[in-house]
Structure 1
Amino acid sequence: MIRQKSTYPLQPPRERGTWRAFALAALMHVLLGFFLYHGIHWQNSTPAGAEAELWTAVPDLSTPRPAPPPAPVAPAPPVQDEQADIALQEKKRKQEEAAREAQLAEQQRQQLQAQQEADAKRQQQLAAQQAEMAAALKKQQQLQQQQQAQKLKQQQLAEQQKQDQLKKQQEQQQAQADAQQKAEADKAAKAKAAAQAEAAKKLDQERRQRLAALQGMAGGEGSTGNGLAKSGTGSGAGGTATSPGYAEKVQRRVRPNIVWAGDTQGLETVVSVRCAPTGTLLSATVTRGSGNSQWDDAALRAVQRSDPMPQDTNGKTPASFTITLRPAG
């Protein structure tokens, strides 16, 4: 237990035998007073008178008379012994008082030391309690921080899971949309391809019909004509209805479209063409090659680039004719 500091002043402890000491001191004072009284009274007493008779006589000078004996001296009172006793008692009293004061001072010192030790112990206990409280508070704060960190981590994990789930849903929706879009695109492509195939089929049928009609109108293959091209020479042949200058017209149409930078030695290609009356090129094929496929391709491209073919003097293009192409030497 922590002793509370007393509000009362320090009091010396009661000694045993105090009343006995007071009684002895009083007795000594009474005896001292008795001896002093009798010693003073004895000194002040009047000595008893002595009676003497006087006789007148003639002294005998022949014989000397003896001297009278000295008067007895009364013994002095024991004043010095009493004073020594008083001094001794006073010295003893002072020693006892000094001892009591020393004992009281020692008791006060011990009490002060005990109080200081109690205060120091109380301070240590208070510091230990404060340290324990601080440690408990720090531990509680750390526990709260750990709980908050764990809670935040759980929230972040839940948020991450939510975002992952949302992202997965978005990816699924995007995949479904892409699949649907792809299906629609495939469907549209198929529909477009079907439409294009149908249109191509229809166009091919119309071309076949027109070609058949033109073939019915054609009167056969006719004469040939020669002419120069930009990068080679060529000759064209028309039907019986072609005019003498039609070959020159074909030459002027095809010659600018010939592009050839290779060898020109011994190359000659014959291209057979079929045209509509309006000059539209219906077909162009190599009927006789030169042995050089690159030159044959260049000659065929020149004919295809010449679409439409020129019309004759009658306002119509021959249905079919051949064009002989040779590179310029």
Structure 2
Amino acid sequence: MSPRPAPHLEFAPPAPEGRQGSLLIAIVAHAVLFLALTLATQWRTQPQTVQAEAELWSATPQAAAPRLQEPPPAPQPEPEPPKPEPKPEPKAKPAPPAPDPRIEQRDAQIALEKKKQLEKKKEAEKLEKERAEKDKAELKRKEREKEEKAAKEKAEKDKLAKEKADKELEKKKAAEKAEAKKAAEAKADAARMDALRSENLKRMQGLAGASGGENATGSALKSAGPSSSYAGRLVGRIKPNITYPGDVVGNPRAEVEVKVSPDGTILSRRIVQSSGNRAWDDAVLRAIDKTEVFPKDTDGRVPSVIVLGFRPQD
């Protein structure tokens, strides 16, 4: 009974076979060698018959005696042909050893390990290729995002620059418009002042001390009109009631005609000369409505109709 193999010896060398088989093979090999040597020696030691003839010659010529007549020799038996050398028996081939299951298991394990290593190598190459493709795609994505970001920043920058230019253009137009309006108002004021100056000049050229117009037909020294400071007093009383929600561009003048009852109660009002700013005109009208009653003049009377002028910066 062969000893039980130790565990985990798949890769150990095979155990030596029994000595009986080796001894039998050695005896058979020596017997065959001895037989071959014997046959070779026997063939070389067989007797062989050799026939030879010789002739004798003399130094001086002599007559030969008559040949002795001998009986013919008896025929010799022919030598037997050498026996053929026996062929050596073919050497028996030793039976192939039975396959060791441990060796087969080891070979299978080695083949399996090689297959696993080859699969791991292919898997690693596949992963490396996928990683390279992924890195390449990521690099392209980053470059595309960078280009998109640069384009977006450029578009934002161009948009801000355009908006800034538009605002500056609007501001410039507004300033030009304000300047033009201011110039127009100044021109209108100058024209009004010229007209007033011309009117005063004509009045001065009339009767000294008369207050009527150039077409007046009365004989009194002064007309029954308001005093020179009465309009300013009314404007000073109305202006605190003006509420305007914002800044007025320039200093426009709004002229309002107000009709008043004898006791000073305001009956009606209307714009006779607009300032060009509807909001300022409406603010002046609301202030007049809020005032409700005008004070009496120095002579104790209130004119029935009076024209008042209002400017934001007066």
TM class, shorter-chain normalised? 0.3 to 0.5
Q: Which has the larger radius of gyration?
A: 1
* TM-score w.r.t. length of structure 1: 0.37
